[in-house]
Structure 1
Amino acid sequence: MSSIFIILIATAVVLFCIIRLKLHAAISLLIAALLTALLTTPEMIMAFGEQKGMSSAEITSLTHLTVGKRLAIAFGNTSAKIGILIALASIIGTSLMRSGAADRIIRGLLNLFGKKNTSLALLSGSFTLAIPVFFDTVFYLMIPLVKTLTIREPRKFSLYLMTIIAGGVMAHSLIPPTPGPLFVAEEMGIDLGAMIIGGLVIGSITVLAGYLYALWANKRWDLPMRDTADISVKELEKFSLKSTSELPSLSWSLLPIILPLFLITGNTFSSVWLAKDSLAKGVFETIGDANIALFIAAILSLWILWKHLIDQSLFKKYITEALTSAGMIILITSAGGAFGQMLQQTGIGSQIGAMASNYQVALLPMAFVITALVRSAQGSATVAMITAMGVMSGVVNAELTFHPVYLALAIGCGSKIFAWMNDSAFWIITEMSGMEVKETLRHFSALLMVMALAGLVSIMILSTLFPFA
């Protein structure tokens, strides 16, 4: 049985389990990983080991492992790479939201941009918050503000709505520490600082494209603001009623977001610009490590939360909720990592790697299309990125004419096509904004498609002009 056939079967199993059987993504991925491992022959594993440059002893040891052990090792390897980061990112996001720091950032941006540029303030605020906070949470947080602003300007409801979607949705797939880009960067051996910088650049381009579409759509279709009865919105609206003096200061609110980005990217630049044995380089290598940088940010965010909680008995409850949510994400991502590694052991990497020498230009759209197909079929951007990474694993060792970060970003952009009824965010946005399904397709699905295609085009152009190979 060929490796391509095994991958087709495994991918079909993932989609069948999620779409038809309605199984949890983690269970679906583990089932597919187990099936892939069972179908993989010792000869395929040996070819995989040789491709990875393993010694004869390592290859022999790998081929003699049981299916269960291979699966467990792959699961553990992924968890070791991203587990702490996801847990810390969840703590930071929850602390910013519950303390009112996230709302303070939005108010600061509104003051900075002015009333005439409210849509740009919402766009920037959503993009900024989505770096440490999951998109669903960002949307929960900002939709009450959108509704409040729309009371004064009813004709701009769809514009404001699309700006918070456009700002928040791309960071989820392009900028660590969100799980998808974090996983892809770790699997491809891409420095997180480089991934953050690349994600910020491509993210800015896609957000601009989304904003232009939002301006056009707002003029083309009238979208009234309707009554909704969502409890989560009411809970978050209490922050909009507080005076600015009751919220954390803007500098403290921004610190848990800006500081880890500075430390991680500082570590990346120090490795290039500073002497190998310099003190500054040693300091950046320590505190610029992603785990340490986010740990420092998490401590700061916890202090902000503790200081601004009226009822401090809720402190433990909120952190427990954050860690519970993070645990589920870690489980899904680790299961996806196990699936990806089982796919790699089929030897598909050597086949795609061989294509890389002759079809360099086609690799970026290939990664984009594979991710887009999986996303369209099952709805989860993170699962789509994990699955595509498993299929494209062979490119990691290929002689690329461009930096692999471009490939990771192409996978991230591909995860945004096509968002429709099988995506949980589709229904969250539909229900909380009061839109009808056809309106959500116009103001959410089409918006994401425009942004994703703009991202792919910009990635292909930049990989040609600035390959950094």
Structure 2
Amino acid sequence: MDPIFIILIGTVVVLFCIILLKLHAAISLLLAALVTGLLTSSDLIYQYAIQKGMSIQEAQSLSTEGIGRRLADAFGNTSGKIGILIALGSIIGACLMRSGGAERIIRGILRLFGKKNTSLALIFGSFTLAIPVFFDTVFYLMLPLVKSIGVKDPKKFSLYLMSVMAGGVMAHSLIPPTPGPLFVAQELGVDIGVMMIGGIVIGLITVTSGYIYAKWANKKWDLSMRDTADITIKDLKQISVTDEADLPSLSLSLLPVVLPIFFITSKTFLDLNFRENTGDLSVVEHKAHAIFSVLGDPNIALIISAVLGLHLMWYKIKNIKKFQKYVTEALTSAGMIILITASGGVFGQMLQQSGIGIRIQDLAGNYQMALLPMAFLITAAVRTAQGSATIAMVTTIGIMSGVVSAGLQFHPVYLALAIGCGSKVFSWMNDSAFWIITEMSGMEEKETVRYFSILMVVMAFSGLISLMILSKFLPFI
């Protein structure tokens, strides 16, 4: 069966189960993954495995695996990538909110930027953090602040939430040293410094358009704050009126947020320096690289942050029963999010194994469009079909390499950035970030589409339009 039809059937199944049958998201995603996997022939799986760089033996082994094993492996792979991060992120968030640390940070932000500029502080703060750090981690660390300030100004909760999402989501696909833009830049021969500058410029343009949409959406629709498994609105309101003398210090409150960012950022840039100057590094640089290779792993960094957060919460409440209750609530919330996110990962993996990347590559060869829109649309199609921005970028650069070798009429950084923008269209139920945002913010699926998915579309297309204009008037060749 053609992979396009397989994806359409899988999409219909998941939407039918969630919207009409009202089934739980995890069950709906697993059923859709099962149907998708059953419809995918062994030949399609074999071709997918070969394209992924597997050996002939590995490809044959994967193509003959039973559907149950493939589902379980996909579930385990996704859980392995995000399970610990979600659990720790939930603990950190609960600790920051229960201890009053998030409230203390928000009061500091309001004092520094003023209440009118809070959303701008959130959007540019998350944009800066997301340059070296994955979006999921940025969202975990920023969400407690959004909730704490949202309870003070409920009518702007969606604006604050979208500000964090708009700031954090684009940097991941535009600015090295995150994997997607780094790989694309290397494949196109674009200098990393040039890619970073171009990514920041286009990123700021897309973030601005996202902020405009966020302000419009905040006025158009009302998104109320809701109780989540880790904390209720009543508890947030009680914390929001706490006397400042009873809140932890600003430095202690910031530590669980700042320290993991420092560790992860240091590892990212030390890795980049290590790859480029392996033979020229001093003993101190080698030791620093070895230390931060451990501390800068996201799992280790968030473990340290969680320990600091637990200390902060214990210092505040000093009640063992309440302490245990709050940690249990955080882990209960995290468990459901991990289940749903891993189920979405299974669905996305089954879509990838259908060979949709190969199918889109074949279609792209039959149509000669302008290069920038072509690269953008191919990336968008792959991203929407299988859920991973990084895989979409890697797939597209493979498709476009033959076209690029014929020569460009503008600097290749424009093509790299067009691919990055295309990877942000369209986040839906096969994307782990979609479910993380839905569950941790207390939104329904249709609300996540409105406040996150469409936000990404607006930013992605504003990036494409900007690139087409700039490449015309400032080709840099």
Structure-2-length-normalised TM-score: 0.70
For the Cα contact (< 8 Å) 2:89–2:140, is it kept in 1? Answer: yes
Question: Relative to structure 1, is the Cα distance of residues 85 and 106 closer, same or farther in structure 2, using a 3 angstrom cutoff?
Answer: same
Q: Which residue of 2 aligns with 1:437?
A: none
In the alignment, structure 1 residue 457 sits paired with structure 2 residue 462: yes
Question: Relative to structure 1, is the Cα distance of residues 365 and 62 closer, same or farther in structure 2, using a 3 angstrom cutoff?
Answer: closer
Q: Which residue of 1 aligns with 2:116?
A: 119
Q: Which residue of 1 aligns with 2:313?
A: 305
The one of 307, 316, 321 equivalent to 2:324 is: 316
Question: Relative to structure 1, is the Cα distance of residues 249 and 84 closer, same or farther in structure 2, using a 3 angstrom cutoff?
Answer: same
Which segments of 5 or more consecutive residues in structure 2 lack a partner in the other structure? 127-136, 185-192, 402-411, 430-436
For the Cα contact (< 8 Å) 2:263–2:301, is it kept in 1? Answer: yes
Q: Quote the Cα distance in structure 2 between the aligned partners of 1:393 and 1:257.
A: 31
Q: Which residue of 2 aligns with 1:141?
A: 148
Secondary structure in 1 matching 2:327: helix
Amino acid at match of 2:150: I
Q: Which residue of 1 aligns with 2:48?
A: 48
- Measure how far apart 1:405 and its partner are: 8.5
In the alignment, structure 1 residue 131 sits paired with structure 2 residue 108: no
For the Cα contact (< 8 Å) 1:99–1:248, is it kept in 2? Answer: yes
CA RMSD of the aligned region, Å? 4.8
- Any residues of structure 2 matched to 1:302-381 within 5 Å, and which? 302-309=310-317, 311-354=319-362, 361=372, 362-365=374-377, 367-368=379-380
Question: Relative to structure 1, is the Cα distance of residues 206 and 17 closer, same or farther in structure 2, using a 3 angstrom cutoff?
Answer: same
Q: Quote the Cα distance in structure 2 between the aligned partners of 1:316 and 1:5.
A: 49
- Any residues of structure 2 matched to 1:271-290 within 5 Å, and which? 271-274=271-274, 275-276=277-278, 278-290=286-298
Q: Quote the Cα distance in structure 1 between the aligned partners of 2:258 and 2:198.
A: 16
For the Cα contact (< 8 Å) 2:123–2:168, is it kept in 1? Answer: no
Q: Which residue of 1 aligns with 2:103?
A: 103
In the alignment, structure 1 residue 10 sits paired with structure 2 residue 7: no
Question: Relative to structure 1, is the Cα distance of residues 104 and 229 closer, same or farther in structure 2, using a 3 angstrom cutoff?
Answer: closer
Amino acid at match of 2:461: L
Question: Relative to structure 1, is the Cα distance of residues 31 and 448 closer, same or farther in structure 2, using a 3 angstrom cutoff?
Answer: closer
Q: Which residue of 2 aligns with 1:296?
A: 304
Q: Quote the Cα distance in structure 2 between the aligned partners of 1:41 and 1:207.
A: 42
Which segments of 5 or more consecutive residues in structure 1 lack a partner in the other structure? 148-157, 375-383, 418-422, 431-439
Amino acid at match of 2:151: P
Q: Which residue of 1 aligns with 2:132?
A: none
Q: Which residue of 2 aligns with 1:415?
A: 427
1:52-85 deviations in Å (ceiling 9; x for gaps): 2222211221222111111111211121122111
Q: Quote the Cα distance in structure 2 between the aligned partners of 1:458 and 1:449.
A: 14
Amino acid at match of 2:10: A
Question: Relative to structure 1, is the Cα distance of residues 406 and 323 closer, same or farther in structure 2, using a 3 angstrom cutoff?
Answer: farther
Q: Which residue of 2 aligns with 1:379?
A: none
Q: Which residue of 2 aligns with 1:61?
A: 61
Question: Relative to structure 1, is the Cα distance of residues 74 and 141 closer, same or farther in structure 2, using a 3 angstrom cutoff?
Answer: same
- Measure how far apart 1:273 and its partner are: 2.1
Amino acid at match of 1:234: K
Structure-1-length-normalised TM-score: 0.71
Q: Quote the Cα distance in structure 1 between the aligned partners of 2:344 and 2:181.
A: 15
Q: Quote the Cα distance in structure 2 between the aligned partners of 1:11 and 1:392.
A: 22
Secondary structure in 1 matching 2:336: helix
Q: Which residue of 2 aligns with 1:33?
A: 33
Q: Which residue of 2 aligns with 1:19?
A: 19
Q: Quote the Cα distance in structure 2 between the aligned partners of 1:339 and 1:229.
A: 28
For the Cα contact (< 8 Å) 2:314–2:323, is it kept in 1? Answer: yes
Secondary structure in 1 matching 2:54: coil
Q: Quote the Cα distance in structure 2 between the aligned partners of 1:242 and 1:89.
A: 24
More displaced stretch, 12-21 vs 263-272:
263-272
- Any residues of structure 2 matched to 1:187-336 within 5 Å, and which? 205=205, 208-209=208-209, 211-212=211-212, 232-274=232-274, 275-276=277-278, 278-309=286-317, 311-336=319-344
Question: Relative to structure 1, is the Cα distance of residues 342 and 266 closer, same or farther in structure 2, using a 3 angstrom cutoff?
Answer: same
For the Cα contact (< 8 Å) 1:78–1:338, is it kept in 2? Answer: yes
Question: Relative to structure 1, is the Cα distance of residues 136 and 197 closer, same or farther in structure 2, using a 3 angstrom cutoff?
Answer: farther
Q: Quote the Cα distance in structure 2 between the aligned partners of 1:257 and 1:229.
A: 23
Secondary structure in 1 matching 2:265: helix
